[in-house]
């Protein structure tokens, strides 16, 4: 009876667990310094964040959101960056080949909070919305850093022109 119960529980539990990870979200380790000081603020600190797949299921992101996406430069790598501008917005760039960019339809502009130490849209330009996989909603580890991650733009990096006032 014990082995049958274990097998039945496993056969039910695995699909439910996989569905949860695929639909709702998962916890991921944040590596690197590109999102400092918001994430990984110290030299030794390593934050773990909850990545909500549910919140981006319709590819809706807002200015200020911290999102996980497939790297446009390396499809095997996931990156975590802040959304600075949405389609139709115009941004001033930092190191991109054009000083100003109007974000095309179906794209958005992302940057790391640690400007100058981030591979982001200033390197590869506007990013297709289809590359977004999840939105970082909170820091879950270490316990001393538990917090909700607010969707806010750094004052110095706001779009020059916003197509609407959606979440700024």
Q: Which residues are known to be catalytic?
A: 34, 81
E strands, the chain, where? 25-29, 48-52, 66-70, 78-86, 90-92, 100-102, 107-111, 127-128, 132-141, 147-148
> What is d(CA 31, CA 50) in angstroms, rounded to the nearest whole number?
14
3-class secondary structure, 83: strand
The conformation of residue 161, written as its DSSP 8-state character, comes to: B
């Amino acid at each position: 009876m014990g082995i049958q119960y274990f097998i039945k529980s496993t056969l039910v539990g695995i699909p439910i667990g996989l569905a949860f990870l695929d639909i709702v979200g998962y916890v991921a380790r944040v590596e690197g310094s590109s999102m400092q000081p918001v994430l990984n603020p110290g030299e030794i600190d390593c934050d773990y964040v909850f990545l909500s797949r549910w919140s981006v299921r319709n590819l809706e992101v807002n200015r200020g959101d911290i999102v996980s996406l497939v790297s446009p430069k390396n499809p095997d790598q996931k990156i975590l960056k802040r959304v600075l501008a949405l389609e139709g917005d115009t941004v001033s760039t930092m190191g991109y080949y054009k000083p100003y960019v109007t974000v095309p339809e179906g794209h958005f502009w992302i940057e790391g909070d640690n400007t100058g130490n981030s591979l982001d849209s200033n390197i590869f330009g506007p990013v297709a919305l289809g590359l977004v996989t999840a939105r970082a909603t909170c820091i879950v580890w270490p316990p001393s850093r538990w917090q909700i991650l607010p969707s806010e733009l750094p004052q110095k990096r706001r779009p020059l022109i916003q197509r609407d006032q959606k979440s700024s």
